């Protein structure tokens, strides 16, 4: 039995598991209740609150955590398993005193992944997280534990990237693309949040329904630092939390059979630069990897800016790895289907898995976590005296820092205390970076619509 008491916008409730972890050891419960620096409680509480706050009209993590500063969650051990007891939880997560089933699934997915990462990835000693192959193995184990790799079929998973703060017409377009992909039996994986992460999933549900596809996959991949600003949207039916942004990005590219990129802001630019760096690796030259940039006609200028920036900083070879399709959702879906036929043949020929791309090369520069601080941002090498893949890695880190300052609690607090991050480098690159970021701000791609954006960066010579 579940119970809840509603007081204004807050709820006290006790809920049982749905879809994930049902039993915990005494040691695991102890770690989850430990509020100290080495305990899991602060991380679990933050992720749980983010999930319960799905649908909020803010992407400011600090604002969310301040509003629900009295939220508490406890693990209650019972004869038949565990329950979660919550105090001062967001009332929007409940209907007539019962927690919404999808939110409950996401809540226990958080519990599952927080426990697994702590015990099996970090504390077990099985993974050397300074070694490239071991990092990839850790990503595989997190995904396998979350049952994301259970699907046994030919390649059909499209990873969709794009901004959480996009306009109405762009959002409608993402739904149309999702619909066309759903009609062709393609499944969708996104960063699980709103905007361009929700639209393709929403469209795909209709396409799947029309084709009587009953078990469509809508996979959400996130990480603790971003989850409050981009909590899982309600369509996600498989949620997985990776330890950090770098492992999240690796999970995306190893799961993907193709990638569709919609308009976005700094976070989307970070994903694009990660992808560029990977595709520029000579080890990946022969591997088919369909990538489409797409949006409605009014968004064409966004991709003009992106392609100009990538070409001017990393070269035309990088630009040639992308296909731009404007205002044609059906052609986007057809392009993905054609590309996945090549992916299938390549994987079969090389005896590689359909559900996890082991053959893809991801360099250590793209795997090691980048700790965003004022010092680390100022120290980034943003010049041409390095190979293109290395410059792509550093540009990716620069955008990762801007995302941190925009929406992550730690970054917001650091900006409030010390002012904007500073980025320095080659004058030509700085000029290109300034033009791209200024375009994002002018197009209101840095915050949710209606929010005032204050730049968290400053470019210096």
User: What is the set of domains in the chain, with CATH numbers?
Assistant: 3-126 (3.30.1850.10), 152-461 (3.40.50.450)
Cα–Cα dist 49/92, whole Å: 12
Question: For residues 394 and 382, is the Cβ–Cβ distance under 8 A?
Answer: yes
Low-confidence ranges of the chain (pLDDT < 50): 1
The C-alpha atoms of residue 377 and residue 384 are separated, in whole angstroms, by 17
Token reading at 405: 């300052």
Question: 303-330 burial string, b = 16+ CB within 10 Å, else e?
Answer: bebbbebbebbbeeebbebbebbbebbe
**DSSP per-residue string spanning 27-64:** HHHHHHH--STTSSHHHHHHHHHHHHTTT-S---HHHH
86 has which bridge partners? 13, 73
**C-alpha distance from residue 242 to each of 42, 71, 194, 201, 223 (Å):** 16, 24, 19, 20, 5
Mention every residue, 6+ apart, whose C-beta is less than 8 A from residue 458: 419, 420, 421, 422, 423
Q: Can you give the pLDDT at residue 142?
A: 97
Residue 39 Ramachandran class (φ > 0 left, ψ -120 to 50 alpha, else beta): beta
Spatial distance between the Cα atoms of 51 and 266, rounded to a whole number of angstroms: 23
Residues 402/277/429/191 CA torsion (nearest 10 deg): -20
Report the pLDDT value the prediction gives residue 21, as an integer from 0 to 100: 53
- The CB density around residue 419, as the number of other CB atoms within 10 Å, is 11
Decide: residue 70, CB within 10 A, 0-12 exposed, 13-18 middle, 19+ buried: exposed
CA 241 – CA 230 distance, rounded (Å): 12
Query: Could you give the CA distance from residue 63 to residue 412 in angstroms, rounded to a whole number?
Result: 10
pLDDT at 43: 87
Judged by DSSP in three states, 90 sits in strand
Question: Within 13 Å and on the Cβ side, how many CA atoms surround 75?
Answer: 26
Beta bridge partners of 3: 14
CA 118, CA 252: separation in Å to the nearest integer?
A: 21
Could you tell me which residues come within 8 angstroms of residue 230 by beta carbon, excluding any fewer than 6 positions away?
Answer: 59, 164, 191, 192, 193, 194, 197, 222, 407
- Which pLDDT value is given to residue 9? 78
pLDDT per residue as tens digits for the range 319-334: 999 999 999 999 999 9
Burial-class residue 197 by CB neighbours within 10 Å (0-12, 13-18, 19+): buried
Non-local CB neighbours of 54 within 8 Å, separated by 6+ positions: 92, 93, 103, 106, 231, 232, 233, 234
pLDDT computed for residue 7 by the predictor: 52
Distances (CA, A) of 81 to 20, 77, 114: 12, 6, 18
What's the pLDDT at 1? 46
């Amino acid at each position: 039995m579940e119970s809840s008491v509603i007081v204004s916008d807050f709820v006290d409730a006790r809920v049982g598991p749905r879809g994930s972890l049902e039993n915990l050891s005494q040691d695991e419960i102890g770690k989850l209740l430990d509020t100290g620096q080495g305990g899991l409680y602060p991380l679990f509480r933050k992720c749980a609150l983010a999930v319960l706050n799905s649908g909020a009209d803010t992407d400011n993590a600090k604002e969310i955590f301040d509003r629900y500063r009295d939220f508490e969650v406890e693990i209650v051990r019972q004869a038949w398993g565990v329950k979660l007891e919550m105090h001062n939880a967001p009332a929007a997560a409940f209907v007539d005193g019962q927690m919404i089933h999808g939110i409950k699934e996401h809540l226990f997915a958080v519990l599952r992944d927080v426990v697994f990462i702590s015990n099996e990835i970090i504390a077990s000693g099985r993974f050397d997280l300074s070694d490239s192959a071991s990092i990839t193995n850790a990503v595989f184990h997190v995904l396998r534990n979350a049952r994301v790799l259970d699907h046994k079929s030919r390649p059909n998973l499209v990873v969709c990237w794009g901004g959480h703060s996009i306009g109405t017409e762009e959002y409608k377009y993402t739904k149309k693309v999702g619909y066309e992909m759903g009609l062709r039996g393609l499944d969708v994986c996104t960063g699980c949040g709103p905007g361009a992460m929700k639209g393709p999933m929403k469209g795909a549900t209709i396409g799947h329904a029309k084709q009587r596809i009953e078990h469509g996959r809508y996979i959400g991949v996130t990480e603790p630092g971003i989850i409050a600003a981009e909590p899982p949207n309600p369509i996600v039916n498989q949620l997985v939390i990776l330890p950090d942004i770098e492992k999240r990005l690796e999970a995306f590219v190893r799961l993907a059979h193709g990638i569709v990129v919609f308009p976005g802001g700094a976070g989307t630019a970070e994903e694009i630069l990660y992808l560029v760096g990977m595709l520029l690796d000579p080890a990946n030259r022969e591997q088919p990897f369909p990538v489409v940039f797409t949006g409605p006609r009014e968004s064409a200028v966004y991709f003009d800016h992106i392609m100009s920036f990538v070409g001017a900083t990393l070269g035309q070879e990088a630009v040639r790895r992308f296909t731009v399709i404007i205002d044609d959702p059906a052609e986007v879906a057809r392009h993905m289907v054609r590309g996945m036929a090549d992916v299938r043949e390549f994987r079969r020929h090389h005896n590689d898995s359909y559900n996890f791309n082991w053959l893809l090369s991801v360099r250590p520069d793209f795997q090691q976590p980048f700790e965003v601080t004022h010092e680390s941002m100022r120290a980034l090498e943003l010049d041409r005296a390095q190979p293109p893949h290395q410059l792509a890695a550093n540009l990716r880190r620069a955008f990762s820092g801007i995302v941190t300052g925009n929406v992550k609690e730690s970054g917001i607090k650091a900006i409030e205390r010390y002012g904007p991050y500073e980025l320095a480098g080659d004058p030509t690159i700085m000029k290109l970076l300034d033009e791209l970021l200024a375009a994002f701000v002018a197009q209101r791609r840095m915050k949710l619509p209606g929010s005032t954006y204050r730049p968290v960066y400053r470019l210096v010579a």
